[in-house]
Every structure is written in C-alpha cells, then in structure tokens.
Amino acid sequence: GAGVSQSPSNKVTEKGKDVELRCDPISGHTALYWYRQSLGQGLEFLIYFQGNSAPDKSGLPSDRFSAERTGGSVSTLTIQRTQQEDSAVYLCASSSRIAGVRQYFGPGTRLTVT
C-alpha cells in the first residue's frame, strides 16, 4: 500500500493477557517509530528503529513492553500481562532519510484493556 498500515485497528483484551500490535511501514523507509497516545493527549515516544542499528528503547514504560522489526520492514509491538493503564491508541510511523525527517503515521491501533 501507499501508506503506513497497522493492525488490528481495534483490540479489546482482558487484564493480564498478552497482545501483539503490527505495523507495516512504507516500503523502503529505514526508520520506524512506535508512540502511545492516551485519550486526548499528545504522543508518548516508545521505541525507534533505524536500519540495522540497535533500537532506541528509551521510551518503553516497563519491561512488559517489547518490539521487534524483522527484515528491516514489519514491526511488532508486544505488551505482556496487560494492565488497564495500557489502554491507549498505539501509533506507528516511518520515515526515510532521503525524504528528510518527515514521519508518516499509520491510523493507529486502539487498545482497550478491561
């Protein structure tokens, strides 16, 4: 596709369960970002991948959160033992050095932990 896609668009899970959120970046984009946005709030940085470099994990709120990027393309954000405070919209963005610092965002995954 032409843009960043994310799946699922909505996820409802019970407290304590694990969830996986998927991001398909724009083809050829070397950088990939995950953010969390609570209701009506700004974006909270979670993790950043750039090419083959070690990811910047400085924004991950706890060790329950992890992310992988396979083959320099698709990324999966995993939240283990979900808590109610994990409820938020999780946004993925990608960018290309060639295009400068512009980030292209996906539509997000709305996670609700009951």
Partner 1 sequence: TQLLEQSPQFLSIQEGENLTVYCNSSSVFSSLQWYRQEPGEGPVLLVTVVTGGEVKKLKRLTFQFGDARKDSSLHITAAQPGDTGLYLCAGAINYGQNFVFGPGTRLSVLP
Site residues for partner 1 per CB under 8 A = 4, 31, 33, 35, 40-45, 48, 50, 56, 91, 93, 100-103, 105-108
Q: What are phi and psi of 32, to 5 degrees?
A: -140, 135
Q: What is the smallest separation between the CB atom of 26 and partner 1, expressed in angstroms?
A: 12
Q: Which is nearer to partner 1, 37 or 80 (CB)?
A: 37
How many whole angstroms separate alpha carbon 83 and alpha carbon 103? 29
Amino acid at 45: F
Q: Identify the residue whose tokens are 């969390």.
A: 36
The partner residues of 27 in beta bridges, in order of sequence, read: none
Rounded to the nearest 5 degrees, what angle is found at the Cα of 21, between the Cα atoms of 31 and 113?
A: 135
Nearest-angstrom CA–CA distance, 26 and 36: 20
Least Å distance, CB 49 to partner 1, is 11
Is 15 or 41 the residue whose CB approaches partner 1 more closely? 41
In the complex, least distance from residue 80 CB atom to partner 1, rounded to whole angstroms: 25
**Residue nearer to partner 1 on the CB measure, 19 or 36:** 36
Nearer to partner 1, 59 or 76 (CB): 59
